[in-house]
């Protein structure tokens, strides 16, 4: 045993999303993981994915210090072991893999880009059960059906949509788009809320305005069953490992204390949980009722999956048809690109490419040369203008979400 002192606080948690199945297809139980962590004295908590609606994974949170050395609180001195080394030890012992936000780590502790995985890792990931297919209902503040079209494309199944007052509701029958809405909405479409039932828990994923900023959060009506391992009564470590996972800010500012308190007061073990959350965010109960099987009273429209190009084309045409006046083309285009700045970036890039292609491919003699430079100059100016507007629209989404995008 080394005389080197083990890691010392302050500590925080680092998450490992551990695949439940070994490379040979055999199943790993949460009890096996707990026993191993106890054996190696890693201060940690374990959540069985069955309780979180993600049956193919076991979630391990390791307590680490600022140098990412794992907390081992049994009082013995040993060589520090960092998070990467601890992860490698766990994966090698169980002959499985772990999934992180930006990498998939194999049994030997080697990280791989999710977009360029070796075939054996692809096969391992493909063998992991997905989230159960349960309905999800989305609601966001808008009269624009474009998000419904994108949700259908993500879900790969037809979705249903209805407009109620200032809100659009979308029902995905298989719930594959559950976490997509908050990534699609613009700042003028908040609040945006997605409802679903996962693993016996009622789940809310939402994005709302907070002053001149915004907050994306997840909220559930119950906390998954957690097991603390090798904490040896350390109150500080146990407190953050046992932190209430019912409510979690995923991005942005904290909610105002009053709203946070309202949400936490939502009743558990009841569909009124959804109704309470929606009411606190200024939304009616229709989305909750629809998730429970009660259809809205308004006309329901089916939206089928289609390509991104068709979605953009059809929604732009609809916006054009709804306008009147001599400036409607430019007015619609301006509003459309400001509401969808990512599309504006693509559009502006395309115009720059056209300008360059015009210069490169058209003849450089006579009147054609004059025309080509004039046309290219117009494409170039317009492309730069659209890229500039789109870029600043994207920046303003994060900085001033209270402003109307139109």
| Mean pLDDT in residue range 3-9 | 53
| Mean pLDDT in residue range 110-131 | 85
Neighbouring residues of 177: CB distance < 8 A, sequence distance ≥ 6: 136, 138, 151, 152, 154, 155, 159
Count of CB atoms situated within 10 Å of the CB of 373: 14
| pLDDT tops 60 at residue 6 | no
| pLDDT tops 90 at residue 208 | yes
In 91-142, at which residue ranges do the beta strands (DSSP E only) sit?
98-99, 104-105, 111-112, 136-141
Sign of the four-CA dihedral 139, 144, 149, 154: negative
pTM score of the predicted model? 0.61
Write down the pLDDT at residue 308.
Answer: 66
Which tens digits make up the pLDDT trace of 301-358? 998 888 766 666 555 545 444 444 444 444 555 556 666 777 778 888 888 888 888 7
Band (pLDDT 50/70/90 cuts) for residue 50 is: confident
Which tens digits make up the pLDDT trace of 374-393? 777 777 877 777 777 677 66
Residues of the chain with pLDDT > 90, as a percent, come to: 39
Write down the pLDDT at residue 322.
Answer: 46
Instruction: Give the whole-angstrom CA distance, residue 65 versus residue 62.
Output: 10
| Mean pLDDT in residue range 69-73 | 92
The DSSP code sequence of 302-355 is EE----HHHHHHHHHHHHHHT--STTHHHHHHHHHHHH-HHHHHHHHHHHHHHH
Write down the pLDDT at residue 342.
Answer: 76
| Mean pLDDT in residue range 156-167 | 93
Band (pLDDT 50/70/90 cuts) for residue 9 is: low
Write down the pLDDT at residue 89.
Answer: 96
| Mean pLDDT in residue range 45-49 | 88
* Highest-confidence segment of 47-51, 120-124, 137-141, 181-185: 137-141
Instruction: Give the whole-angstrom CA distance, residue 208 versus residue 190.
Output: 6
């Amino acid at each position: 045993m080394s005389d080197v002192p083990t890691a010392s606080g302050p500590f925080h948690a680092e998450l490992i999303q551990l695949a439940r199945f070994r490379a040979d297809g055999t199943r790993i139980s949460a009890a096996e993981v707990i026993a191993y962590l106890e054996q190696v004295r890693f201060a940690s908590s374990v959540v069985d994915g069955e309780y979180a609606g993600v049956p193919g994974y076991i979630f391990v949170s390791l307590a680490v210090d600022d140098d990412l050395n794992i907390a081992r609180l049994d009082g013995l001195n040993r060589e520090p072991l960092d998070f990467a080394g601890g992860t490698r030890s766990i994966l090698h012992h169980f002959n499985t893999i772990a999934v992180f936000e930006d990498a998939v780590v194999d049994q030997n502790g080697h990280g791989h880009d999710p977009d360029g995985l070796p075939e054996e890792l692809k096969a391992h990931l493909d063998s992991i059960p997905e989230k159960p297919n349960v309905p999800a209902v989305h609601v966001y503040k808008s009269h624009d059906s474009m998000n419904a079209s994108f949700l259908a494309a993500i879900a790969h199944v037809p979705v249903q949509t209805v407009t109620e007052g200032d809100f659009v509701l979308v029902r995905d029958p298989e719930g594959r788009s559950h976490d997509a809405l908050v990534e699609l909405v613009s700042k003028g479409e908040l609040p945006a809320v997605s409802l679903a039932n996962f693993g016996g828990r009622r789940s809310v994923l939402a994005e709302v305005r907070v002053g001149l900023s915004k907050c994306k959060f997840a909220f559930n009506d119950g906390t998954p069953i957690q097991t603390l391992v090798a904490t040896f009564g350390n109150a500080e470590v146990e407190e953050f490992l046992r932190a209430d996972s019912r409510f979690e800010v995923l991005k942005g500012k904290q909610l105002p204390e009053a709203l946070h308190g309202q949400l936490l007061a939502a009743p558990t073990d009841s569909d009124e949980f959804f109704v309470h959350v929606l009411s606190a965010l200024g939304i009616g109960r229709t989305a909750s009722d629809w998730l429970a099987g009660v259809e809205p009273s308004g006309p329901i429209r089916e939206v089928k999956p289609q390509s991104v190009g068709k979605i953009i084309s059809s929604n732009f045409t609809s916006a054009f048809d709804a306008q009147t006046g001599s400036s409607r083309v430019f007015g619609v285009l301006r509003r459309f690109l400001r509401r969808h700045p990512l599309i504006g970036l693509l559009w502006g890039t395309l115009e720059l490419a056209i300008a360059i292609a015009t210069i490169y491919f058209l003849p450089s003699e006579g009147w054609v040369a004059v025309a080509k430079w004039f046309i290219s100059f117009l494409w170039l100016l317009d492309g730069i203008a659209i890229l500039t507007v789109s870029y600043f629209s994207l920046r303003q989404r994060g900085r001033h979400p209270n402003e109307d995008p139109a």
